[in-house]
Structures are given as C-alpha cells and as structure tokens.
Structure 1
Amino acid sequence: MTPIPFFKMSGSGNDFILIDNRTSVVPEARLEELVVGVCRRKMSVGADGMILVEPSENVDFKWRFFNSDGSLPDMCGNGARCAARFAFLNGIAGRKMAFETLAGVIEAEVGDAGVRIRMTDPKDFRLAQRLELDGRSVAASSVNTGVPHAVVMVDDIEAVDVASDGRAIRFHPDFEPDGTNANFVELNPAGEIFIRTYERGVEEETLACGTGNVAAALILAKERGLASPVTLTTRSGGRLTVHFTRRDEGFVDVFLEGDARVIYRGELWEEAWQG
C-alpha cells in the first residue's frame, strides 16, 4: 500500500502521531491494527496516541484521537494543542481555529511560542473522596475536564509509586465502569506545583497530561483557593498553564496553554504496524 505521511509531535512530553486523513489515506478496515502497531515503542514510531485530522462540515476540521491501546477518549489537552499546530502548519486552518472532538468543539490559537486551547466546561466535581488502596485510605478529588480525572495531593512527588497507585485508582470501583486517569500533585512551600499522571488508555505514567493538568489546577482552585492562572510542572519538566474564570460553584472560560513541538515528519510503511 502507499506510504502514509505523518508528523511526530510532542506536547510537554506527551507524544503523538498526526495524520492528515481528509482524503482517507488511512485504511479504515485496518485502523485499530495500525494505531496499536504504530504506537508501539522500539518496534515502530512509538507514541502515547494517534490523531487523524478529518473534514468537518461545521468548523475547520474534526479529529479522531486514539490512545496507544486503540481506545477512543473524548478529549486530550496536549493532543489538541498538537492538532492545532499541525493544522496551521499544513494550511488546514489559520492561527485561530475550531475543531470537533468527542468532548465538543475546541477553540485554539497558535502562537509563536505555543498553543492555547479553550477547554470544554468542567463537570462532575467530587471533592475529598476516600479511596481504599491496598489497606490504605487515600483522599482524592475528581472532575471531568473532557475525560475523567482523579487528583491526589502528596507531600513528595518523587516518592509516589505512580505505576502501582495510579493503576489502583484508574481501576478503582468508585470510578467504574469506565475508570479514570490518576494524577498526583505536590504543592510545595514555595508555591511550585508538580504533577505526575497515570493515563487511562496508555496504561502507564506519561510525561504530561493536558486534561490532567486542568483537573489539578481546578481542584487546587476549589480546595486551596488558588487564583488563575495556575502553572504546573509536568514529569517531562515542561510547564503547562491553566486559565479559568470562577462562576458560582464552577468554572468557565477554561484555557490550557503550552508547547506543541514538531519532532519530525516521515512516511509510515505497512511494515510499521505489522506484527
């Protein structure tokens, strides 16, 4: 089959494969095989997810976003910034654009130093839940910022066993049937915020999670009184900034701002996803 052009991009360490699929260059019948195969690290390109940019009748484009396991989450903040810059660089949209996701229409603006996206309004806040994890009681708060997130405050971000505790929270009965993403957040005495995330669908810790950073910022605003904007340092060392406006008991005008780097461009051969 004809090789498929793609970009490899990174949003604060969350990496993605992006394809202009407006002319259906991706074989639909083998789509899941392609996603899972190409996202394999060391065996193929390797990525946390894949983004297909496709035509929309209403806005600049729509996307289909896939986790590396082939699942379809409603939203991805870091992926959305990468999709926006990809669309701008490839002449699909101007610097200001809107595109369709399963979570709703996302507005974006591509700047010289990064991309700013308007998130959908957060919902389903649950504060100070008690979760039993292997005989320990852990305090967690949760919110849906396009996808569900649990947020756990910790004293030492480096001491967290993200793989074990993150997996336990991700599959915890309180979040059934769909599960949740799990974020661990340290707010140190100097006011610096550090975050680590176990991502549903990737099923391991990732170097950054945009919707998780938004969830953490809003939980901190609710529980610790933090004002907009809130900047968090991700596992990659990259910094993401969350802007928001309080309204009654919730938040509106929620924006996520950060980098969206082009790593390289290339072509996918069929053997890239073969077993």
Structure 2
Amino acid sequence: MKVQFTKMTGAGNDFVLVDNRDGRLRFRPEQIARLCNRHYGIGADGMLVAETDGEQDRIRMRYYNADGGEASLCGNGARCFARFLQPLLKEEDGGTVSFLTGAGLIQATFEGEGVSITMPDPSAARLRQLVSTRHGPLEVHWIHTGVPHLVVFVRSVDGIDVEELGRELRWLADFAPDGVNADFVELLGPDRISVRTYERGVEAETLACGTGVTAAAVVAHLVKGVSPPVSVLVRSGDWLRVGFERTDDRIQGVRLEGPATVIFTGEVEVEE
C-alpha cells in the first residue's frame, strides 16, 4: 500500500508522521520498524499516527517506538504532532490544538518556530535510590513523566558512555518488566542543565527526548534546587525549556517548549 508521510524533527528527535484520521490504514509492528529503519526505510526514532477517537470526538496521537512497539507518550513527538496538525486544522501562530495520547489530553500552543505543550504531572517519584551496576553502586532517581525515566547526575555528560551504561540501566531487574529510559544530567547553572538520554524502544541514545528532558528538569529541581523554568541543552545542540509549578512536594502545570520542524514529505510503499 502507498502511504503519504511527513518527516519531522523536534530538536533532533525525528519522526515519521501519518494522517490516518479516516481509519483506512493498519500498521503492524514490523511495518513500523521497517519505516523507522535508517537503512531500509525512511529513518526515524519513532512513528506518530493521527487517528480519530470516535468516543471523545477528538484526534488521538498514537506513538510507536522505532522497534514498532507502542508507548503512551513522546514529548518531542507530541510537539511535532501538534505542528503536523496545524495546517490540517488551519491554526495560525498563537493558536492552540488539543489531542489525546495514551498519557491523557495534550494541549499545544504555536509560538513562531517553537511549539509549547502541556505534559502530564510527574508521578510516583522515587529519589536517591542505590542500584548495582558493573561499575559499582550508583545513585539514581526514578520518575514517571508519561513514561518511566531514571535520572543520573554526572560531572560531565561528555564523559559518559551513554550506550553502555544506558543499556545496563534500561534493563535493570529493579525496574522490570517495563524497564526505563536513562537520562544523564549535568548541572550548568541555577536554571540550566545538559541531558543525554538512552531511549527504550529505540535502544540507543537519541539526540533529544522530551519526556526525558522533563524528567531531568523536575528531578534537578527536587534534588539539586535548579529553578524553573529550566533550560535544557540536548545532544543535538538545541535548547528546550521546561516550566512547572511546585506546591509542597507536588509538581504540576508542566510545559515543554522547543522547536518542531518539517524536514520533508513524501510517499512510501509499505509491504502488506
């Protein structure tokens, strides 16, 4: 079958987007994995599909990792998804769109080249845990920002072997069976951090991760006193910003802001 698609990037986190609001397309995990393959497909960290939710009469964002498995949310993906919807829904800059995800309703605002989205309030933070790694005990911080993340503070993100340590943390028995994404965080200032992320489902480091940036910013505030809004430097060299409010020990009103850009559009033949 022939499929029209749009290739987009959110701070280096890249995606294949497809409009399936009419419900005529059905994708199997192996088809999605093939489309995301950088040698045999379009190439992407994941795939975003626009569908119509008949019960709530809203657009639903379905997010699939590069391995074809579905996940509840992708922060940078949601920002790209909003930009993808903008011309379809004829929204101007300064306008807003809303859509459903596996983690709840997302509202997006268009601000020039950037897109700002609401994020789920973080839940069930488990801070200052010690885990065993092949290099010895390591202090980690678990938090759920739509998907589970493990935050590790390091002296320099450039000195970390993200592929090796990230893969080990991702599969730790402590966090089975779902596993975690692993975020390595360097403090840059009172309201700035740098983050590198190993993403489950991609099973590699990505140039940016929206839920990871959010997790890192919130944990940096809770543990290190970093002040919101937090500016976050990601591996691509782009900056994202995470705003939120704190009431006692509760974090709420989380927003993720950053660029969302169309790279190209096209048509691809998908083997049925």
Q: Please confirm whether the aligned pair reaches a TM-score higher than 0.5, indicating the same fold.
A: yes
CA contact (8 A) 1:208 1:234 kept: yes
AA partner of residue 32 (structure 1) = P
Name the residue aligned to 2:8: 9
Name the residue aligned to 1:71: 69
**Matched position secondary structure for 1:167:** helix
Deviation string, structure 1 residues 136-159 (Cα, Å, up to 9, x no partner): 111111100000000000001111
CA contact (8 A) 1:60 1:97 kept: no
Instruction: Give 5+ residue unaligned stretches, structure 1.
Output: none
User: Structure 1-normalised TM-score?
Assistant: 0.93
Instruction: State the distance in 1 between where 2:218 and 2:192 align.
Output: 15
Instruction: State the distance in 1 between where 2:43 and 2:151 align.
Output: 27
CA contact (8 A) 2:192 2:230 kept: no
Instruction: State the distance in 1 between where 2:221 and 2:7 align.
Output: 34
Name the residue aligned to 1:195: 195
AA partner of residue 97 (structure 1) = V
Instruction: State the distance in 2 between where 1:52 and 1:117 align.
Output: 18
AA partner of residue 4 (structure 2) = P
User: Structure 2-normalised TM-score?
Assistant: 0.94
Q: Say if 2:214 is the partner of 1:214.
A: yes
AA partner of residue 52 (structure 1) = V
**Matched position secondary structure for 1:55:** strand
CA contact (8 A) 2:23 2:52 kept: no
Sort the Cα spacing of 1:92 and 1:49 in 2 relative to 1 into closer, same or farther, 3 A. farther
Instruction: State the distance in 2 between where 1:267 and 1:87 align.
Output: 18
User: Where in structure 2 are the equivalents of 1:222-237 lying within 5 Å?
Assistant: 222-237=222-237
Shift of 1:43: 1.4
**Matched position secondary structure for 2:98:** strand
**Matched position secondary structure for 2:38:** coil
What CA RMSD, in Å, does the superposition of the two structures yield over aligned residues? 1.6
Sort the Cα spacing of 1:175 and 1:93 in 2 relative to 1 into closer, same or farther, 3 A. farther
Identity %: 43
Sort the Cα spacing of 1:244 and 1:143 in 2 relative to 1 into closer, same or farther, 3 A. same
Instruction: State the distance in 2 between where 1:154 and 1:15 align.
Output: 26
Greater mean deviation of Cα atoms: 59-68 or 214-223: 59-68
Shift of 1:44: 1.4
